Amino acid sequence: MNKKTTILVVDDERGVRQSFNMVLKDEYNVLLAKNGEQAVDIFIKNPVDLILLDILLPDIDGVELLQKLKEVDASTEIIMVTAVNEIQTAVKAIKMGAYEYVIKPFDVDDVLTIIHRALEKRSLIKEVNYLRSELERFNPFEKMVGKDKKMLAIFELISTISDGDGAVLIQGETGTGKELVARAIHNRSARKNQPFVVVNCAAIPSTVMESEIFGHNKGAFTGAIHTTLGKLEIANKGTVFLDDINTLDINMQGKLLRAIQEKEFERVGSNKVFKVDVRFVAASNRSLNKLISQGEFRKDLFYRLNVFPIKLPPLVDRKSDIPLLVNHFLEVYSKKTGKAPKSFSKRALNALMRYDWPGNVRELENLIERLSTVAKKPVIQLHDISSPTRSTEKIKDMKLKDAVSEFKKRYVCEVLESVDGNRKRAAEILGIHRNTLLGKLNEEF
């Protein structure tokens, strides 16, 4: 530690203050206070890294002063100074945020060791906070990747609405990243240090949905052997993400509407009203407007959720992001496996660009995970990603002429890959002139 590290000694005994000053002054900047009032004044006016705080002070209880100082700056480490008969109070102080305690008369080496450890902890916490801020700066939107203008607009919208507290409705096809958007909103909000609780509406049977969201009391129904907290109570002060909210039945929609409007609810089997402070973020992979017109979704619930609407584009509408996503997922699965990241050949990447990705980003991620595992060579080739399923999905709705043309393109590419790009050899296998092969390649690429 260097002279810039400041320690505040708070003790009403002049001899104790002088003893600490003698021990610490060569290594630290030492400030001295004889009572609580003086300590608070010094603490507010000076940057203090650590406090040695006597439990018995003439004007205030040391534990009470500990609370006051922590309210001003919770990051400052505090070591309680106590007599043998005050150890129980010192333990209580540790439970309230003190780092450790030392006993009078103190051993110099013991005190220096405790101080060093406390300052080391403070330094590590500061480093973690710094690294988190750097991570936030370079990766501000979780695992969301994209430079397409549609995605940039969504990133900007997330930044804008995160500071608010109104409900958010995210709509988009399956696999477009709705939960990532919800987490990004939560992690950039004032609630970021509170729970982010996911309710997967599609995966929870309607018969237990009310209990899942609101909780239940012991004996509320057969099998309720103890009181269970619901997702809303667990998420208090944080964010609730209602995924696939379009699957909720009408009856449950009405109960949820009341909870959103009033910020209160009742557990199943209880008449007690519980207040809750949560932000609601909902997601749907179907058009809620269409469901409203069909009588399957409440209009009033839609309006209550649709304070901040977000519409996520399918991957087919942002194909320019595919190379970025591919590189991102290759790096992710390289770290998971501990192997060097693979890459895609130009033709293989072009094939990914041509595909319409009905499963969106999730389908692309699953493919990259599979190829990262099973592809034997460092460069993934076209034949590695070709499959009957993928071919059928691509051509099943085509006219015969277009389907034949698509098959020819695929076959030519696969033959080329099999001979490592040797065009002369590929032309021989295909039974065509080399110039004809070049013409087909120019048409495709």
DSSP characters for 210-231? HHHHHEE-TTSSTT--S-EE-H
Cβ-contact 25, 53 below 8 angstroms: no
CATH 3.40.50.300 placement within the chain: 149-313
CATH number of 149-313: 3.40.50.300
CATH 3.40.50.2300 placement within the chain: 6-134
Q: What is the pLDDT of residues 281-304, one digit of tens each?
A: 999 999 999 999 999 999 999 999
Give helix 400-418 / helix 434-444 axis angle, nearest 10°. Answer: 110
Q: Decide: helix, strand or coil at residue 387.
A: coil
pTM equals: 0.58
For residue 93, with 0-12 CB atoms within 10 Å meaning exposed, 13-18 middle and 19 or more buried, which class applies? buried
Paired sense of beta strands 239-243 and 196-200, if any: parallel
The tokens for 383 are 């034949």
CA 269, 270, 273, 278 torsion-angle sign: negative
**Rounded (10°) CA dihedral 269, 275, 281, 284:** 30
Question: How many CB atoms are closer than 10 A to CB 320?
Answer: 14
Its CATH architecture, for the domain 6-134, is 3-Layer(aba) Sandwich (3.40)
Q: Give strand pairing partners of 310.
A: 170
Give helix 322-337 / helix 346-354 axis angle, nearest 10°. Answer: 120
For residue 143, with 0-12 CB atoms within 10 Å meaning exposed, 13-18 middle and 19 or more buried, which class applies? middle
Determine phi and psi for 172, rounding to 5 degrees.
175, 165
Q: Give strand pairing partners of 197.
A: 240
Looking at residue 24, what is its pLDDT?
Answer: 93
Looking at residue 157, what is its pLDDT?
Answer: 94
Give residue 319's identity as a one-letter amino acid code.
K
Which stretches in the chain have pLDDT values below 70?
1-3, 127-143, 386-398, 403, 414, 417-421, 439-445
Looking at residue 393, what is its pLDDT?
Answer: 47
The tokens for 38 are 């003086």
Looking at residue 445, what is its pLDDT?
Answer: 47
CATH 1.10.8.60 placement within the chain: 316-444
Paired sense of beta strands 273-275 and 50-54, if any: unpaired
Question: How many CB atoms are closer than 10 A to CB 74?
Answer: 8
Looking at residue 128, what is its pLDDT?
Answer: 65
- Please state which CATH class domain 316-444 belongs to: mainly alpha
Instruction: Give the chain's end-to-end CA distance (angstroms, integer).
Output: 63
Long-range CB pairs of 412-419, under 8 A, 24+ apart, other chains included: 412/437, 412/440, 412/441, 412/444, 413/347, 413/351, 413/382, 413/444, 414/382, 414/383, 414/386, 416/347, 416/382, 417/345, 417/347, 417/381, 417/382, 417/383, 418/383
CA geometry: angle 254, 258, 259, nearest 5 deg: 115
Q: What is the pLDDT of residues 361-406, one digit of tens each?
A: 999 999 999 888 888 888 898 888 864 344 444 555 667 777 677 7
